[in-house]
Amino acid sequence: MHLSVFLLSGLISLAALSFAGNKNIDTVTLADGQVIEAPILKETSEALWLDLGETVLRVDRKQISDIKRANNEIKPAREKQAGLYRTAEDLPQRTPRELAAGLGAAVVVVQTPSGTGSGFIINPEGYTITNAHVIQGEKEIKCVMFRREGRDFRRRVINDVEIIAVNNHLDLALLKLKNEENTPFPTVYLQKDEKLDAGQEVFAIGAPLGLERTLSEGVIATSQRSFNGLTYIQTTAQINPGNSGGPLFNTRGEVIGVTNMKITMGEGLGFAIPIRYVKDFLNNRDAFAYDSD
* Of residues 289, 247, 276, the one with CA closest to residue 129: 247
Which helix (H) or strand (E) covers residue 175, if one does?
Answer: strand 172-177
Q: Provide the 3-class DSSP secondary structure of residue 282.
A: helix
Catalytic residue positions?
133, 171, 244
CA pair distance 98, 45, nearest whole angstrom: 11
What value does the CA radius of gyration of the chain take, rounded to a whole number of Å?
A: 21
Please answer whether residues 43 and 31 qualify as being in contact, where contact means their C-beta atoms are separated by less than 8 angstroms. no
* Of residues 186, 214, 237, the one with CA closest to residue 117: 214
91: DSSP letter: P
Please answer whether residues 105 and 144 qualify as being in contact, where contact means their C-beta atoms are separated by less than 8 angstroms. no
21: DSSP letter: T
CA pair distance 200, 287, nearest whole angstrom: 34
| β-pair type (142-149, 10-15) | unpaired
